[in-house]
A and B are shown apart, each in its own frame.
Chain A
């Protein structure tokens, strides 16, 4: 168990050390594994039982709402785009003395009737000092009360992180039951989709000082989710 740590330091050619380490480690792992027959491994993997944990019961939208509120977010509903803009406007007026918001280059966001809410959107990536970002989620996850954002031109990652507050719109019919459902998009499996996926479930928070929960650590201090779409039975 006691080991001399190999005294390998960056030589003239950094590539050489790198290759050596990779070859040695991979050889050791392959030696330790049973003969790696891909077909056999695939069969074993397919036979692993699925989890039915946390599937939950009842209305997914209600569960989504409850869990988000539990995590310190606020949730509103809007039956159409105009109502969504008015809701954004209400939230911005209540917390800020200005009407500017930053949003990604998303066609759905560009098509919102911003003027109806007296809002001034700027399209692009957020910068330090932006007060409010508005984003449009790909999916909602009821199990954990999360919204899923794909990090691309439509949703620059910094819009989720730098502004003081974040407002995220999600379509009612995009709210899925379980964590696994966020992966039900071919693009996420090919390498030709977004460079990243962020699942956001509440405002940024920390309990590092005396186990006291504080909202607004490094990211947004408030998260407001607007569920957009006709409610059933209306």
Chain B
């Protein structure tokens, strides 16, 4: 996927200027936190939820510490089970593998389940460029594919579109004559009917995976729609695209993670379908794929091992940090300019691409800490974001005027007398400008900031000055 992360400010400003779409973002903001509370209650309260988070973190840390060992075990089991396993260092290598598989098996029509990994590698474009017919089947992914857009949320890719947008889109894209599409139920039924034909005609299915089990060679798939399972079981060729960091030692470790994943994603205790696939059709099976492939992508992940950002490998891709992030809620997912938005995206994008091409992302954070509070994997997201800011500053990626401003502030802060003197002048000036109104509505250089808020007038003397007065 083409990266536009450096345009974060412009993209976010555009999103904020579209209040009709902001309603959908705020609906998400209103819906998700109560769902989380329900989920926490299902565990028996915050204490039990925390105990499970810590338990799963231990399991994930163990898996990550011995990733080479467990991945080798998984790959050996997967091959014994009749799968062909491929490794890809980069996104383009993953796309090349998939193309080669499709070419060898004479695949023309591909159906896809939701996969952030293939968004990362831009697989759809690569397949389309090679003349293949690719159809996304997750309803949200289908909607944005038809609209020619990219996902705005890692779980609900089309949540930026209103039901009206989608109705209009279906009228334009489906040549089905006059009909009623008033209710979401009508639109879902129409998409189901249209996509059912695509499912039946497909030669290959491509899906992602929520986890790999080393001891058995199973891949785990978690969905509500059932589209991912149709992608697995209908076409003759199955290709599972996932990353090297998704390995769990045993089924019980994957089950512990599953509890956290689903409740953090949608607030459900479990999704409608949770499947574990081991390989192609066996013995006298009447259905199932005839050949199955696993493509394991690295794309920078192995470089995070044992580094300062290793904890990011624990991310379950549940989307909870997005749902609770005030910046994401206002800026929307597209502002982040790549595959992964929100707090997890602000960390992951610079790590998987580069700080240079995603410089504004570590700054897209108010430090409020809600993401860390809700993260089922206990990733200290605000800390990682702060570390990326420091790295950005140290490496000179930060804009010159910001570095100059920071340097000036640092110098001032080291000279307390001068600092106090300067703030006293500032207070005097602001109070004069405000006159009797008590608030400032305009200020040079702060037009953007004051557009949606007023600046209260500072009190007569600074905290330090009044503190000193009280002491004397």
Contact = CB atoms under 8 A, between A and B. Distances in A.
Nearest to A217: B225
B68 A218 contact: no
Contacts, number: 297
A3 B65 CA distance: 24
A122 interface: no
Contacts of A8: 89-90, 92-93, 96
Contacts of A189: 215-216
A119 interface: no
B275 A25 contact: no
B107 to A, nearest CB: 15
B188 to A, nearest CB: 4
Name A's interface SS: loop
Nearest to B94: A21
B109 to A, nearest CB: 16
B71 to A, nearest CB: 6
A6 B89 contact: yes
A218 B111 CA distance: 13
B55 A51 contact: yes
Contacts of B44: 53
A209 B43 contact: no
A201 B287 contact: no
Interface string B241-252: 000100001111
B216 A51 contact: no
A29 B225 contact: no
A161 B259 contact: no
B67 A32 contact: yes
B330 interface: no
A194 B303 CA distance: 37
Interface string A124-135: 110010000000
A204 B275 CA distance: 14
Interface stretch (A85-93, A138-146, A226-234): A138-146
A83 interface: no
Contact of A219 (B96, B225, B249): B225
B429 to A, nearest CB: 42
Contacts of B354: 1-3
Interface size class of A (residues with CB under 8 A): 35 or more
A186 to B, nearest CB: 11
B355 A1 contact: yes
Contacts of A202: 272
Nearest to A18: B86
Interface in B315-344: none
Nearest to B58: A48
A81 to B, nearest CB: 24
A195 B279 contact: yes
A58 interface: no
Nearest to B292: A195
Given A188-B216, A210-B162, A29 B275 contact: no
Given A48-B59, A158-B287, A199-B270, A218 B230 contact: yes
Contact of B275 (A54, A188, A198): A198
B163 A209 contact: yes
A98 interface: no
A22 to B, nearest CB: 4
Given A21-B88, A49-B55, A209-B139, A200 B272 contact: yes
Contacts of A3: 300, 303, 354
B97 A18 contact: yes
Contacts of A44: 62
B278 A191 contact: yes
A33 B89 contact: no
A216 B138 CA distance: 13
A179 B259 contact: yes
A143 B256 CA distance: 12
A144 B270 contact: yes
A45 interface: yes
A161 B43 contact: no
Interface string B267-290: 011111111111111111111100
Nearest to A203: B272
Interface string A1-26: 11101111110001001100110111
B383 interface: no
B91 interface: yes
B259 to A, nearest CB: 6
Contacts of B284: 153
A106 interface: no
Contacts of A211: 27-28, 31, 156, 159
B96 A9 contact: yes
A33 B67 contact: yes
Given A38-B69, A189-B215, A157 B195 contact: no
B233 interface: yes
B225 A157 contact: no
Contacts of A17: 93, 96
A216 B468 CA distance: 69
B20 interface: no
B466 interface: no
B362 to A, nearest CB: 12
Given A14-B100, A67-B269, A208 B278 contact: no
A32 B305 contact: yes
A7 B232 CA distance: 31
B227 interface: yes
A207 B229 contact: no
B137 interface: yes
A161 B58 contact: no
A104 B140 CA distance: 32
16 contacts: A5-B89, A6-B93, A17-B93, A21-B93, A29-B67, A34-B66, A48-B58, A53-B43, A53-B259, A157-B229, A193-B278, A194-B278, A195-B288, A197-B218, A208-B138, A208-B159
Closest 10 pairs between A and B when the two form their complex, measured CB to CB: A219-B226, A2-B354, A29-B68, A217-B225, A144-B270, A208-B140, A32-B305, A30-B68, A204-B226, A157-B233
Given A51-B56, A205-B224, 5 more contacts: A8-B90, A54-B43, A180-B252, A194-B282, A211-B27
Interface of A: 1-3, 5-10, 14, 17-18, 21-22, 24-26, 28-34, 36, 38, 41, 44-45, 48-51, 53-54, 67, 70-71, 104-105, 124-125, 128, 143-146, 151-153, 156-158, 160-162, 178-180, 183, 188-189, 191, 193-212, 214, 216-220
